[in-house]
Structure 1
Amino acid sequence: MATEDIVITDATEAAETEPLAAATIRTYPLAPGHTVNVRSGPGTHYPIVRTLSAGSSVPIRCQCQGESVTGPYGSSTIWDNIANGQFVSDAYVRTGSDGYVAVKCS
């Protein structure tokens, strides 16, 4: 199974079901105290598909350029793909970097 086809909700679950995926897809925490909208594409004009609660963590499958968003971690045009058709602004994810921490989405 290709890494792009794997939807990971928990790093522990990934390690149990797909050892390679656990090594290649890292999970990152959302900014403390913030709920985050998950959108169908890399911008605020895309529909909201769900909302993540404060304290959640997300797997970053890949990252792409999109609309600039300002959040707790500054302004960013990077959007994190967390599942098939689901994106969150990197400005709300604590990756420890202002740049890419995962492969670019194709």
Structure 2
Amino acid sequence: MGVNALVSAALIAFVHLWLVPERLPALAVLDVAELYRLKELQVAAVLVKRDASDEERAGALRRAAGFGTEVSTLLQALPSECRCIVLARGAVMGSEPLLRDLTPDVRRRLGL
């Protein structure tokens, strides 16, 4: 009986220490709305700049047009890179102090 109890305790410990953490993926948040606001501010700054050339303005509009595709590509790769489930910040209720915030890293990657 003692051996049976020992084996059972070892199996329970194995399941909880090694198997369960693999099934529970990490969670992270990303503020996609902030990314679009920052891009909008970048483009607006170029468009309202008095001494900006037509070329600069057209380039800013081209970059803005391709921004959605760039963000979509990055969002598809992000979960495998961080090995986590990425949640939109707006979908998380309350404060999320325990969740990793990927927004600053994504801002840098997008040049915002």
TM-score tier, shorter chain, comes to: under 0.3
TM-score normalised to structure 1 length = 0.25
**Greater helix share, 1 or 2?**
2
**Greater strand share, 1 or 2?**
1
TM-score normalised to structure 2 length = 0.24
